[in-house]
Amino acid sequence: MSNEEVIKILGRTPFFSSFDSKTLNHLAAATFQHKYETGQNVFLEGNPCIGLYIVKSGWLRAVKISSAGREQVIRFVGPGDIFNEISVLTGDVNLITVEVLEPAELLIIQRNKLLNQIEKNPEIAKFIIQSLAQRVLHAMNLIVDLSLHSIESRLARFLLENATGDYIYRKSWGTQAAIASRIGTVPVVINRAFRALVEENMIDFDRTRIHILNRTELERKALRNE
């Protein structure tokens, strides 16, 4: 991939869209592309941090895995998203594991060269700090959800946050098990929570989509504590 193509992709990414052409050119020169297939790991927690990743196409998930093998999905990332910014700044190793959910093309800005550009250009540092602040806020909300809200409440909030209008269109990997990992529970429990929302006429669903039938009640459910 040429520098010009990389610059165009970076320029279309919200994170980099306001950077000037000189900065984009420097970043493009430090960027390489890699393709991944479904089920591959982009990297594992504890492995050396190579750099900052930009999703050109495809979907992936970032997870933390316990010593017992229990997974907590931190976030899903898709086209235009960036990830691994925390590891770039905090040390030499990745803090999460990232798995490919569907064939993906990623751009990778090499860590040492990105850090060099950050020193020269405060604008890059500002945008990365904003991104880190969003990650911290997300982590805080996740902690509050896990400690203060029921499974049904967390599921209701997940559905509302991911809905387009009154529908959540399910990708092939958007299984109940995947949703369970995202909201911090296990498949058998999430299955019961889905059934409860159906029985209360808040949602209906099939393999391809989830339909919100009563948004008002679902919003009330989302705000309910244990």
Bridge partners (DSSP) of residue 75 are: 62
CB 209 within 8 A of CB 169: yes
The DSSP secondary structure of 66-97, one letter per residue, reads -TT--EEEEEEE-TT-EE-HHHHHH-SB-SSE
The residue ranges of every structural domain in the chain are 3-146, 150-223
- Give the pLDDT confidence of 167-214 residue by residue, as tens digits: 999 888 888 888 998 888 888 999 999 999 999 999 999 889 999 999
Comparing 3-146 with 150-223, is the CATH topology the same?
no
Question: What does the mean pLDDT of the chain come to?
Answer: 88
Specify the CATH superfamily of domain 3-146.
Answer: Jelly Rolls (2.60.120.10)
Which tops the pLDDT comparison, 137 or 188?
188
pLDDT of 37 above 60: yes
pLDDT of 226 above 60: no
CATH 1.10.3330.10 fits 150-223, yes or no: no
pLDDT of 220 above 90: yes
Q: 97-110 and 31-36: which strand pairing?
A: antiparallel
The Cα-based distances of 134 to 12, 91, 105, 140, 157 in angstroms read 20, 19, 24, 10, 18
Share of residues in the chain with pLDDT > 70 (%): 99
In this prediction, residue 225 has a pLDDT band, given cuts at 50, 70 and 90, of low
